[in-house]
Structure 1
Amino acid sequence: MPLERGKELSLNFIRVLAVFLSLGFFATFLPFMCYPLAVIVLGVTSIMLVIHLAPFPSLLNRLGDYSYGIYLVHLPLVYCLYLLVRETSPGFIPMVALMIVVVLPLAVLNGKLEYWMYRHKIRPLVDRWLSPDRPSSSTRTMESQ
């Protein structure tokens, strides 16, 4: 019984992934080839997993939609957080970790809010203003006289 197209693709994906993972396993026993082979194996398997994951492109699309709001607010948030913790001087690595944990979620939340406002408030308003069936301002002033 022949496999369906999707199952055949999944089986081929699993076979190729198994080959590269076994190469990575054997690379641990070959010390002279360990680093180059590990880099190749990790790179190829990462690319294969990213390509094969279905929800990943939708996540990237959403981040692309939110990117303008993230761009607008990330620098002021980083600066405000720096002003709050500069007296304690936590060091570079803890500061970067703090920035990622605090600023990134807030920036994404702002991006989501900005995108919602654009889609539901700003865009419909601009579409109404620019619609061809809307009378122009000169027509309205002539009608009122």
Structure 2
Amino acid sequence: MTDMSASFVYVTYIRTTPDKVFEAITRPEIACRYWGHENISDDWQPGSEWRHVRTNPARSVDLVGKVLESDPPRRLVLSWANESQQDDPAQFSRVIFDIDQQDRMVRLTVTHEDLQPGSGMLKGITEGWPLVLSSMKSLLETGQGMDL
């Protein structure tokens, strides 16, 4: 059995509303402005598939999964795997977006769990989530995401 005990948690505070954070995650035209990818699902309801698609001309799919929970605008839980490994259930991890109103700002907690210690996925998300979420914060607060 593969050890999937590793996890990564990132918390940030954003001067915006929970609705805008949820939309930034789930609306392709917003996600591409801070992530360089579009998050695409038919309806973002539990059981629906989602894809993480590069916005470059090739429109390649990098990540895939299913919506496990959806409680807009408070919580979104996704299964998450590299597109090339989607046929192996052991390669899927789980991402939890908890979106909480805190006075005039939002506390966004992203928990990425069920990761294999020392894996390429763990290394990638440990470097990637802080950049992506900082870029989201910049976009929502200033209208300009970072160049990733």
Larger Rg: 1
Q: Specify which structure has the bigger relative contact order, considering alpha-carbon pairs within 8 angstroms and separated by 6 or more residues.
A: 2
Tell me the TM-score normalised to structure 2 length: 0.21
TM-score normalised to structure 1 length:
0.22
Of Structure 1 and Structure 2, the greater helix share is in 1
